[in-house]
Amino acid sequence: MHALLRIIVLSLGVSLLWACTDEAQESKEANVAPGKSEQTAANEALSLLQMSAQLAQLAVADEDAAMLAQAAKLRARVATEALEAEATQGESEQTGTESEKETSFEHMSAADMLELAREFAGDDETLLALIDGTLVAEVRSRGMVGGARTIQDVVGAYSEVFYRNVYFEGGAPAEVLLIGDGDTDLDLIIYDEFGNVICASESMSDREYCAWQPRWTGAFTIEVSNFGSVWNAYILATN
């Protein structure tokens, strides 16, 4: 008798949960649980990508071989997979400047960073030994960190790119990290399936971050906007 009662109670609980989810979807309420977004990536893979990009920027500016090797070590620890999403390029009424730009340091692989670090090191045998020897040891000792889905893309001047049907799991933290090439101001906006704005990261830089917790598993749209007069090559990463 008690077992039967327990089954009935559990069944009613599941039914109520599905009813609440269906009601929220029918009313087109925002697919986000209450709470304040953090400004620093909590997912370890996204955090490492963020730190690697920051170090690489400083290292390239100063031609610092040792610092660039450290950036490479962080980048090498992150195991990524391709972010599958439908991308749509927006159209701008303003005309940008089409200029040639070198590949951005944020988007170099760990191997590319090390190759550039060797150039910075020149004939310094100590630095060369550091570059050639520590990367493998670091990765082997600490292991790879997974959990990041990434895509590299370009957004035109005064334009935007929309990534639709990016799914996040209900009840679990969702994070999106944007790292541009440093030339223009980029903004990051997240919409749910009903067009509700879930998160807007709109600083004056091209490094933006959004975090939220979906109430149910659903599709989201990620918008990357470029407010500069030249194109911006960026990397977009999600947990």
Q: Where are the domains of the chain?
A: 44-238
For 24-52, the pLDDT digits (tens) are 556 678 888 876 555 555 678 888 888 99
Split at pLDDT 50, 70, 90, the class of 86 is: confident
- The pLDDT assigned to 8 comes to 40
Split at pLDDT 50, 70, 90, the class of 228 is: very high
Q: Average pLDDT of the chain?
A: 80
For 51-85, the pLDDT digits (tens) are 998 899 899 989 999 999 989 888 888 888 888 87
Residue 217 pLDDT greater than 80, yes or no: yes
d(CA 89, CA 156): 8
In sequence order, what DSSP letters do the residues of the chain get, joined into one string?
-HHHHHHHHHHHHHHHHHHHHHHHHHTT--S--S-PPPSS--SHHHHHHHHHHHHHHHHHHHT-HHHHHHHHHHHHTEEEEE---EEEE---SS-------PPPGGG--HHHHHHHHHHHHTT-HHHHHHHHHHHHHHHHHH--EEEEEEEEEEE-TT-EEEEEEEEE-TTS-EEEEEE--SSS-EEEEEE-TTS-EEEEE--SSSEEEEEE--SSSEEEEEEEEE-SSS-EEEEEEE-
- The pLDDT assigned to 31 comes to 83
Split at pLDDT 50, 70, 90, the class of 129 is: confident
Residue 162 pLDDT greater than 50, yes or no: yes
* CATH number for region 44-238: 2.60.120.380
For 199-214, the pLDDT digits (tens) are 999 899 999 999 999 9
d(CA 122, CA 65): 9
